[in-house]
């Protein structure tokens, strides 16, 4: 089966650090993606991990552990504009590389 | 370079009618994905087309169908519309097996 789990909602303070976790169970694995989606807008690509370890891109970092079926997105120096939903997605190699999304984590950043 | 474009932006239909949603992928992309996002919920995989063929479909009834044209643009058709079909329908395109999919702005379908 296919299952991707993320917390539904998180809150954090401007300037702080927040970690959004994602666990997945898929028949095959060919990469994990994080997307950001502001309300009413299309998702935009943030990061991609296919090998274990940490990928850093500015204020955002993403970590992957394939053996644990686990990833996290780390957001540093939070800004108000980071208030959005963060979507974890897995490319399932058993399904012709179909891209499967979790339900998303709604992050609210407060002053 | 133009991104993924979807039309119309908004669509209002009555229950029982049919809706047709369109998507133009990024130039050179052969794969088109369709997702449904109901209000406050995550993206639910609908359909995936590549090179004109349906590669995979999600857990949706047969009244959700689509096709991909020779120029790789795609249509999503929803027949016998129901109130719960009201959602944002997102299209994404990518190179086959590529690492990243790019999303369009979506079509907001409202069924009344």
What rounded mean pLDDT belongs to chain A? 91
- Which pLDDT value is given to residue B49? 92
Are the beta carbons of B55 and A96 separated by less than 8 Å? yes
pLDDT in tens, B54-100: 988 888 999 999 999 999 999 999 999 999 999 999 999 988 766 67
- Which pLDDT value is given to residue B90? 95
In the predicted structure, residue A106 carries a pLDDT above the cut 70? yes
Cβ-proximal residues to B78 (8 Å cutoff; 6+ apart), any chain: B18, B19, B21, B63, B64, B85, B109
CA angle (A35 as vertex; B101, A29 as ends), nearest 5: 65
Closest CB to A42: pick one of B33, B55, B105: B105
Minimal Cα–Cα distance from B105 to chain A, Å?
Answer: 5
Residues in A touching B106 (Cβ below 8 Å): 42
Residue B1 confidence class, pLDDT cut points 50, 70, 90: low
Q: How far apart are CA B51 and CA A3, in angstroms?
A: 28
Buried b (16+ CB within 10 A) or exposed e, A30-54: bbbbbbbbeeeebbebbbbbeeeee
In the predicted structure, residue A93 carries a pLDDT above the cut 90? no
Are the beta carbons of A45 and B102 separated by less than 8 Å? yes
Q: How far apart are CA B43 and CA A47, in angstroms?
A: 18
- Which pLDDT value is given to residue B92? 93
Strand partners, B55: none
pLDDT in tens, A1-53: 678 999 999 999 999 999 999 999 988 888 999 999 998 788 999 999 999 99
- Which pLDDT value is given to residue A41? 83
Q: How long, in residues, is chain A?
A: 111
Q: How far apart are CA A99 and CA B31, in angstroms?
A: 11
pLDDT in tens, B92-110: 998 876 667 899 999 999 9
Q: Looking at the complex, does the CB of residue A98 fall below 8 Å from at least one CB of chain B? A: yes
Residues in A touching B48 (Cβ below 8 Å): 96, 98
pLDDT in tens, B5-47: 999 999 999 999 999 999 999 999 999 999 999 887 778 889 9
Which runs of E-coded beta strand occur in chain B?
5-7, 10-13, 19-24, 31-37, 44-50, 53-57, 64-68, 74-78, 87-94, 102-103, 107-111
């Amino acid at each position: 089966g296919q299952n991707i789990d993320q917390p539904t909602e998180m809150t954090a303070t401007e300037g702080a650090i927040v970690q959004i976790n994602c666990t997945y169970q898929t028949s095959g694995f060919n990469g994990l993606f994080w997307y950001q989606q502001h309300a009413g807008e299309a998702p935009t690509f943030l990061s991609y991990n296919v090998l274990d370890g940490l990928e850093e891109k500015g204020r955002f970092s993403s970590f992957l552990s394939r053996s644990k079926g686990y990833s996290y997105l780390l957001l540093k120096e939070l800004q108000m504009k980071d208030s959005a939903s963060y979507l974890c997605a897995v490319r399932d190699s058993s399904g012709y590389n179909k891209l499967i999304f979790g339900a998303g984590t709604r992050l609210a950043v407060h002053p | 370079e133009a991104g993924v474009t979807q039309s119309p932006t908004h669509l209002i239909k009555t229950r029982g009618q049919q809706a047709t949603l369109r998507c133009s992928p990024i130039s050179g992309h052969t794969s088109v994905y369709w997702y449904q996002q109901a209000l406050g919920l995550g993206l639910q995989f609908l359909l995936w087309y590549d090179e004109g063929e349906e590669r995979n479909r999600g857990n949706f009834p047969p009244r959700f169908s689509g096709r991909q044209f020779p120029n790789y643009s795609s249509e999503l058709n929803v027949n016998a519309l129901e109130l719960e079909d009201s959602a944002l329908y997102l299209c994404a395109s990518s190179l086959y097996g590529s690492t990243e999919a790019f999303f369009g702005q979506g079509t907001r379908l409202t069924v009344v």
